[in-house]
Structure 1
């Protein structure tokens, strides 16, 4: 390590906000695992938000002696951070990049790079932070692992980085097999559930107040989430409209949402259950209004509530936990539901990644629906009705899925824990201290 870098680290260690000197000394002595979690990809989707607190909660549960700093993406907002701090009040968050000279763009990240003894790439739709991990390997040289991602192929550089990891956990076995086929040869490559399965955020007060305001009673409603084939990010970000994706969305929107309307209609007509149409991302309030609520018959619409505003992960999960279950075309709200004992169906289509196939891996293949397959669409409504009409069997199915997830969570966290027992603490350039 250069004298310049050592001097900078010493100065920033003493001045860093939120990290007291005794804690730094303990970390330097190697008394605790020090994990730098690269996560927090975007905030426009409550599922993407859920990855981060889910993984932190798992570390807290299975490696309670560990200290964690979150290396977040730039768009982590004060509102989301406040929600996460309610659950993890001591969590320190840094942002920034590693520059070509090996230094970070922020003093907080610079300090965190020197402080940590392991980099954990969090759960996500892909090897999201491949560039950051590559820079970490090149300039910092400490060990790293990847937890709960989908793999759909990558560059030679990406394959090399994945191979160098201490472990790789893929959130469905489809990704695991694809990575093997592409030549990834990490020593530990296994199925490891999406980090969002660990999410336990709550905002019961907000959920109760909302349900009361729209006359929904706990245990008397189901949740439904719509989705277009491609998320229209051009509506919520400063970016040009993707005409090709927009055309595909328009072409398939009725095809994809007519089955959901049929299921909604069957539920409210054949049972005493209402339906809440709600969003997982910021674009879906309009989708729910235009493609679901507005096209329902009047007698059905009278027992359906459309949520008109976006919400955060804690309020959403508290709401799901007061429902009989969830169905729709998204993935991470179902993940959070199953993790917390709530039944959930998943609809998928060819434009999505392989993430939906995790339902097969946890024993819920019967609750996975390919919206491009007529036979799957035909069984959607009958399956959903069992959520109301056959609660004991449905809840037993959820418990079995939870058991699979929880076993893998224990096993994967044990692998992470073993990294600190089996290897010496490393310095800034990977030399044993």
Structure 2
């Protein structure tokens, strides 16, 4: 009998990286468990536009929405059927156990197991209640080794607890037609441009979602924005002046277009500007991946665009800071530690420009390094799927 897995994923759509978790994991399951039916259970933010994009790649995918009530019953017939027919709930990648309430209800009311593919632990999710729900999982793969050690120290006792990469490495969405138009209109030639992404210290969700304004976070963003962006501007300047490559400023979330214009594009020297393209409109994951694949590499202060680049064999440099979750440390875990920079450490950031130039000038060697990391990730995916298969066959 064909088994059914409920995939609890798709947390929000204002960020192409958060979108990427879901098609990445769907691609992994399609490759290694093709006979298993997967039902996607997304969060309420899931939009028709994003659903259509994912379903173009996975046309047989069934999507159910809704909640489990206090009586254990689903809020609609489609979700109820999926819960009844399923044999396992798989929690997708994310910054924490985002679907903890659904996982807990699934175990409590349906007496069925769940497991976790590639999350961060710590900071957002600590305390006794958190330890208990994590320990109910049949397995937890943490997307960075720092999270794994933190969970062990906190006494989380899931039977299988290991490092396992974020599922977004496996994204294979594409929109080559739209990407080709964009590249042609902006005179960006394949292999002759780098991508750069910058961001606020705290994502200003009050600008892009129905969230209340946070004055403290906004003030800290304003305080740190010059420190964080000066090295990126200098890297762009040196790339343009010394390599002949162009640079594309592009967003990972909806708050970044205006920010990149303010802190990078508008402050570049006049001789550099003609070779810098500023993307003023947001894009979805499929177009972004198609553009990244045509680039010589990416650098900046985001995480999932670099992940999607490495998943396509494209070099990517990551800048991070202490206030973020520990997900950035996965770069060390997959052999890319010298492409990881702490923006609060002056000594590290002094090496950023040389690293970006080296990636641009010795691009074939950089691509080989990216490919080696990709292969390491793929081997770990096999192990993660084998653990899931063992749970299903138990």
Name the TM-score class by shorter chain: over 0.9
How big is the shift at 1:393?
2.0
How big is the shift at 1:239?
2.3
Q: 2:175 aligns with which of 203, 210, 225?
A: 203
* CA distance in 1 between partners of 2:322 and 2:162 (Å): 24
How big is the shift at 1:329?
0.2
Cα deviation digits, residues 44-78 of structure 1 (max 9, x gap):
00000000010011000011111000001111111
Q: Quote the residue 2:305 is aligned against.
A: 333
**Between 196-205 and 155-164, the greater mean CA deviation after superposition:** 155-164
* CA distance in 2 between partners of 1:175 and 1:145 (Å): 16
* Equivalences for residues 130-141 of structure 1 within 5 A: 130-141=100-111
Q: Quote the residue 2:39 is aligned against.
A: 69
* Equivalences for residues 349-388 of structure 1 within 5 A: 349-388=321-360
Equivalent pairs counted in the alignment come to 392
Structure whose CA Rg is larger: 1
1:279 corresponds to 2:248: no
* CA distance in 1 between partners of 2:380 and 2:267 (Å): 42
Q: 2:228 aligns with which of 231, 249, 256?
A: 256
**Between 395-404 and 210-219, the greater mean CA deviation after superposition:** 395-404
* CA distance in 2 between partners of 1:197 and 1:402 (Å): 8
* CA distance in 2 between partners of 1:376 and 1:78 (Å): 42
Runs of 4+ that moved beyond 3 A: none
* TM-score of the superposed pair, with normalisation by structure 1: 0.90
Q: Secondary structure at the match of 1:169?
A: strand
Q: Quote the residue 2:278 is aligned against.
A: 306
Q: Quote the residue 1:128 is aligned against.
A: 98
* CA distance in 2 between partners of 1:239 and 1:414 (Å): 40
* CA distance in 2 between partners of 1:357 and 1:263 (Å): 22
Equivalent residues of 2:2, 2:36 under 8 A apart:
yes
How big is the shift at 1:356?
0.1
How big is the shift at 1:162?
1.2
Q: Secondary structure at the match of 1:69?
A: strand
Equivalent residues of 2:194, 2:248 under 8 A apart:
yes
* CA distance in 1 between partners of 2:211 and 2:159 (Å): 40
Q: 2:186 aligns with which of 203, 214, 227?
A: 214
Cα deviation digits, residues 288-307 of structure 1 (max 9, x gap):
10000000011111110000
Q: 2:112 aligns with which of 139, 142, 156?
A: 142
**Between 132-141 and 210-219, the greater mean CA deviation after superposition:** 132-141
* CA distance in 2 between partners of 1:335 and 1:64 (Å): 24
Q: Secondary structure at the match of 1:105?
A: coil
Any stretches of 5+ residues in structure 1 without a counterpart? Answer: 1-30, 423-433
* CA distance in 2 between partners of 1:395 and 1:320 (Å): 13
User: What is the Cα-based RMSD across aligned positions, in Å?
Assistant: 0.8
* CA distance in 1 between partners of 2:60 and 2:364 (Å): 40
Q: Quote the residue 1:10 is aligned against.
A: none
How big is the shift at 1:107?
1.5
**Between 260-269 and 231-240, the greater mean CA deviation after superposition:** 231-240
Any stretches of 5+ residues in structure 2 without a counterpart? Answer: none
Cα deviation digits, residues 306-339 of structure 1 (max 9, x gap):
0010000000000000000000000000000001
Q: Secondary structure at the match of 1:212?
A: helix
Q: Quote the residue 1:182 is aligned against.
A: 154
How big is the shift at 1:146?
0.7
